[in-house]
Amino acid sequence: MRNRPNMNMVLIFSQFVADDLPEKLILLIRKPVDDFSDAPCERWLWDGKHKTISKKLNLRQRVVFCDEDSSEAIFTSIMDKGSVCAEDTNLSFSVPKTTKKNEFSEYFELDACIYCIEDANYIPHELLIEYNCNQICGYSDEENGYIEPLGLLAPSLLHKLFVSSQIALKLNRKVNIRIRGIEDSSGCKSGCKKFIGFVQDEFTDGINSIVQLRDKPGERVLGEVVVEKQTGIYRIQVNEFTSEGELRYFRNDELISVFPFSLILDISINTQIVNNILTDAYKRQFNTTDDEFKENETFTSKSWFIESYIKGTNGFQALCDYFLDIFSYLGQDIIIVDPYSMGNIKENASTGELEDFDNQIAFVNAMLVHLFRNKWKAKFAIVSSNPRFNIRKEYTQYKRFLSKFKVPQLLCPNLIEFRYVNRDFHGRYFLKKVTEDGREVLTKAVIITNSIGNIKEVDFMAITDCVQREMVAQKCLSLYTESLSVEEEINGIV
């Protein structure tokens, strides 16, 4: 009697090149599923036709559900011959040179045969961006094609496969061993003594299938039993109340699988109502907690190019998150030195509406989320150069722009302060300000290679060299110290 599933799903992910050329294989996965088939079968979704995932990149998807032997044949045919028959259609693929290795797949937690590409430039660079990959997998509000079935690939998993050069994975089915219940609840607060469960395996005559129950460290054997081959069911009794430990499955003396377990016993519930929720410009929700803000100790350099994103919205959301990463690295008192501040914000002559840029929205949204996460204890000072940019003339438009976010705190000059100096400078830096022995010093610095207004590409680099950081800090501190507050000047304070 068959006591384990034997069905598999094969995902074929490719890129259309031209009508007379093979499709470029992007990803091939053979994955076990929990279903049975008593005969060879192939069930192609969409009648073997492709589903378009991205028109911009010409990405296509095909899926087939089939038995073990058929899935092996399909996978091998694509990797070895670059072809397969889907229903009545012959498909051709260009398959890159790969290196094959048999090892445990940490992403799927299964033993696998993994094929890694040798050409680092083979994968389209757009697919090396996590936002694009998550959109392709359906983790986005964008109305666009996505890989089916939904949830097939966990968030960020597609990106991890591509950056680790994994283009094909033949995942092996593992023996499934589980606890289904307990038959003795007399010691419910400290565990139980009788367990019932099942094993999914191909049971072979002449081989004993044994389940062994051990304590949590796995050192003591508390009990063992032979599995009923007709049903796969086991019942095991131990002499002491047990709430956690591990099950070990053997074929004769060969260890096949280990399953740690922990019983849910005495349950206590701690409920906290969260009523302070922020919905940001990208419709993401954030809530505050009682935990104090924890500043990141390091920052990894990043590059951003708008043309690398399938959808512009995703690109600017990614830019926002890059800003957030910088702010989390710099802490709660942040100085931004940029000769052009946030850039010009124009007004439509016909409608009177502001024509702000998407990267300005990303920047302000990042400040908003950082302030919210810090329970409005953080603050920003943005210092610009008066010879290059007249912030006093632009100040009213800035206030109108900030008011569009409908968060009154953004209009508070104690949280976001616009300042200027009456001298020229060129460099653009984000810095952390602290007070040491009664004087202000700048202790962290990140270089930004472009100003905020209407940028198409930008690099962010943390300054880690002590001499360079001190040189930049001294220059930026002098700019900040001699800068004037626009708010105070308008209100006649200075």
Which contiguous run of DSSP H or E holds residue 398?
helix 391-403
Per-residue pLDDT, averaged over 154-168, amounts to: 93
Higher pLDDT, 295 or 347: 295
- Per-residue pLDDT at 430 exceeds 80: yes
Distance between CA 111 and CA 166 in Å, rounded? 14
Residues in the chain: 494
| Both structure tokens of 429 | 């830096």
The segment with the largest mean pLDDT, out of 290-299, 333-342, 346-355, is: 333-342
- For the stretch 281-287, contacts whose Cβ atoms lie closer than 8 Å and that sit 24 or more positions apart, written own/partner, are 281/320, 281/361, 281/362, 281/365, 281/368, 281/405, 282/313, 282/317, 282/320, 282/365, 283/141, 286/369, 286/372, 286/373
Which contiguous run of DSSP H or E holds residue 354?
strand 354-355
| Closest alpha carbon to 162 in 133, 140, 131 | 133
Q: Helices 391-403 and 358-373: crossing angle, nearest 10°? A: 70
Among all chains, which residue has been given the structure tokens 């049903």? Answer: 231
- Per-residue pLDDT at 268 exceeds 50: no
Instruction: Using a pLDDT cut of 70, give the percent of the chain over it.
Output: 92
Give the pLDDT band (50/70/90) at residue 492: low
What is the average pLDDT score of the chain?
87
| Phi, psi dihedrals of residue 77, rounded to the nearest 5° | -65, -40
Give the pLDDT band (50/70/90) at residue 279: confident
pLDDT tens, position by position, 42-72: 999 998 899 999 888 999 999 999 998 999 9
pLDDT at 111: 87
Distances (CA, A) of 85 to 96, 109, 395, 425: 20, 30, 65, 64
pLDDT at 273: 34
Give the pLDDT band (50/70/90) at residue 476: very high
Which residues, other chains included, contact 123 with Cβ-Cβ below 8 Å and sequence gap of 6+?
A: 26, 117, 162, 165, 167
- Per-residue pLDDT at 340 exceeds 70: yes
Give the architecture (CATH level 2) of 277-490.
2-Layer Sandwich (3.30)
- Per-residue pLDDT at 352 exceeds 90: no
Which residues, other chains included, contact 442 with Cβ-Cβ below 8 Å and sequence gap of 6+?
A: 335, 431, 432, 433, 434, 473, 476, 477
Give the pLDDT band (50/70/90) at residue 264: low
pLDDT at 312: 67
The segment with the largest mean pLDDT, out of 293-297, 407-411, 425-429, is: 425-429
- Per-residue pLDDT at 271 exceeds 50: no
Distance between CA 7 and CA 314 in Å, rounded? 36
Per-residue pLDDT, averaged over 278-295, amounts to: 81
- How is 46-98 classified by DSSP, letter by letter? GGG--EEEETTTTEEEEEEEEEHHHHHHHHHHHHHHSEEEETTEEEEEE---E
| Closest alpha carbon to 409 in 433, 379, 381, 382 | 379
Look at the alpha carbons of 483, 488, 492, 494 in this order and tell me if their dihedral is positive or negative: negative
Distance between CA 385 and CA 482 in Å, rounded? 11
| β-strand pairing of 23-33 with 166-171 | parallel
- Per-residue pLDDT at 400 exceeds 80: yes
pLDDT at 6: 81
Asked if 176-262 and 277-490 have one fold, the answer is no
Among all chains, which residue has been given the structure tokens 């598999």? Answer: 8
| Phi, psi dihedrals of residue 356, rounded to the nearest 5° | -75, 160
| Both structure tokens of 101 | 């290795």
Higher pLDDT, 6 or 320: 320
- Per-residue pLDDT at 197 exceeds 90: no
- Per-residue pLDDT at 181 exceeds 80: no
Which contiguous run of DSSP H or E holds residue 485?
strand 484-485
Domain boundaries, the chain: 7-171, 176-262, 277-490
pLDDT tens, position by position, 205-262: 888 899 999 988 778 999 999 998 888 889 998 888 888 888 999 999 899 888 888 7
Give the architecture (CATH level 2) of 176-262.
Sandwich (2.60)
pLDDT at 347: 81
Instruction: Using a pLDDT cut of 90, give the percent of the chain over it.
Output: 51
Q: Which of 176-185, 201-210, 407-416, 451-460 has the lowest mean pLDDT?
A: 176-185
| Closest alpha carbon to 281 in 374, 409, 406 | 406
Instruction: Find residue 62's DSSP bridge partners.
Output: 12
Distances (CA, A) of 93 to 79, 86, 441, 481: 9, 13, 59, 63
- Per-residue pLDDT at 93 exceeds 90: yes
Distance between CA 6 and CA 38 in Å, rounded? 9
pLDDT at 3: 56
- Per-residue pLDDT at 269 exceeds 50: no
Q: Is 375 left (phi over 0), alpha (psi -120 to 50) or beta?
A: left
- Per-residue pLDDT at 320 exceeds 50: yes
| Closest alpha carbon to 239 in 206, 275, 194 | 194
Q: Are 162 and 120 within 8 A, CB to CB? A: no
